[in-house]
Amino acid sequence: MIDLKFLRENPELVKENIKKKFQEHKLPLVDEVIELDRQYREFKQEADTLRGERNKLSKQIGALMAQGKRDEANEIKAKVTAAAARLAELEVLEEEYAEKIKKIMLIIPNIIDPSVPIGRDDSENVEVQRYGEPVVPEFNIPYHTEIMEAFEGIDLDSARKVAGNGFYYLMGDIARLHSAIISYARDFMIGRGFTYCVPPFMIRSEVVTGVMSFAEMEAMMYKIEGEDLYLIGTSEHSMIGKFIDTIIPEEKLPQTLTSYSPCFRKEKGAHGIEERGVYRIHQFEKQEMIVVCKPEDSPMWFDKLWQNTVDLFRTLDIPVRTLECCSGDLADLKVKSIDVEAWSPRQKKYFEVGSCSNLGDAQARRLKIRINGADGKYFAHTLNNTVVAPPRMLIAFLENNLNEDGSVNIPVALQPYMGGQTKIEKK
């Protein structure tokens, strides 16, 4: 959510930003919120004037009563009563218009960074850099579920009976590999100076609307029936929510946290054949990283965050690339975003395994996350990034470490988490 004062003083810049995001249907909202704000400030000014007059008249009533001038006091009392009635009307209008303004401001997209490429959708995202040499082996690489089935490592049929489509049982070495990757990612981030955290897996609606747009919430979140609780779609939501309505001393910044959680997503809509199996599912586990920092430090932390993911994947012998998200592919709260994509030797292309985002002060403004500095209080900047999200990351791991005989190599970095195993063998 952008600053209302900024919108009031820079309406054309806000409209230009909306055009860059190809959301022309939102252009009238800028003028609408400016008019609502004008009326709101008029109501507030009148109310403040009435409060001042009421206080002044109230003092006069006391003085007149003390002097025995009851009739004059009663006349002033009538004026106070009339002012009170009008003040009550104005207070209702203030609240009503403030809510209307807030509702619109939550829809107007954040101002994107000048470096963001302009494009309509993810097809216009821009490759930044590749890390590691993509390899296509001479032997055929099976679909990821077939690789897992060869190790008796997945049971989709039973999961379908128990929970429906979009769920799975991981078994044996594959389940252990899944847990090993999460544990390794946790320790990798701790080694980079991040504080480990296991957050709540449910959050209240005020946190949901503080960390994401309404459109994202509707598409992603599962609501707990009869309660003001949602299952988290990613741990960054409850991690950022940890700082709701707080004032952080400057010397306590940056706050750098890495978190483990299960994640739950609706994943509505039809998906192609490459997204069956365990690629796009309703439940998965994830290691995440978040940063709360001073505004001037957020560009530096943005680069550090995505680099952490690249470095981790390279220690597991997985080639990756970074992709700059274009304006039309950015969620409304994001200032800038980079996706990390892993190489799929089977598909002979890269696919997304993580996303790094700088949200500027949008989440902090919604959640009232402020910094107490030498010159006063101001809003923090928040950032988030995926460390690993198996089982999607597991797909990249299995394909890139698969041998012709069907075994899978375990990179040195992961071997301690697999009981010293150097490879897993077909059953």
pLDDT tens, 382-426? 999 999 998 889 999 999 999 999 999 999 999 999 999 999 998
**Helix-strand-coil percent breakdown of the chain, rounded to 5?**
50, 20, 30
The Cβ of residue 286 has, within 10 Å, a number of other Cβ atoms equal to 24
Give the pLDDT confidence score for residue 100 in this predicted structure: 95
Q: Where are the domains of the chain?
A: 4-105, 122-424
How far apart CA 388 and CA 260 sit, in angstroms, is 10
Question: What sign for the dihedral angle of Cα 156, 159, 163, 164?
Answer: positive
CA distances from 77 to 65, 80, 84, 87, 90 (A): 11, 5, 10, 15, 20
CA distances from 405 to 145, 264, 319 (A): 17, 35, 22
CA R_g for the chain:
28
In a structure prediction context, what are the per-residue pLDDT tens digits for the chain, which is 427 residues long?
A: 899 999 999 999 999 999 999 999 999 999 999 999 999 999 999 888 887 777 676 666 666 666 666 667 666 667 777 778 888 888 899 999 999 999 999 999 999 999 999 999 999 999 999 999 999 999 999 999 999 999 999 999 999 999 988 899 999 999 999 999 999 999 999 999 999 999 999 999 999 989 987 677 777 889 999 999 999 999 999 999 999 999 999 999 999 999 999 999 987 654 554 556 787 889 999 999 999 999 999 999 999 999 999 999 999 999 999 999 999 999 999 999 999 999 999 999 999 999 999 999 999 999 999 999 999 999 999 999 999 998 889 999 999 999 999 999 999 999 999 999 999 998 7
The answer to whether 290 and 257 have CB atoms below 8 angstroms apart is yes
Amino acid at 326: C
Report angle CA 373, 303, 215 to the nearest 5 degrees: 85
pTM of the model: 0.89
- Is the fold of 4-105 the same as that of 122-424? no
Pick the CATH number of 4-105 from 3.90.180.10, 3.40.50.2300, 1.10.760.10, 1.10.287.40: 1.10.287.40
The Cβ of residue 28 has, within 10 Å, a number of other Cβ atoms equal to 10
Give the pLDDT confidence score for residue 47 in this predicted structure: 87
Give CA 386 to chain center in angstroms. 11
How far apart CA 175 and CA 230 sit, in angstroms, is 27
Report the topology of domain 122-424.
BirA Bifunctional Protein; domain 2 (3.30.930)
Give the pLDDT confidence score for residue 71 in this predicted structure: 66
Q: What average pLDDT does the chain have? A: 91
Angle in degrees, 0-180, between the axes of helices 70-105 and 27-66, rounded to the nearest 10: 160
How far apart CA 296 and CA 372 sit, in angstroms, is 15
CA atoms within 13 A of residue 33's CA, in its CB half-sphere: 28
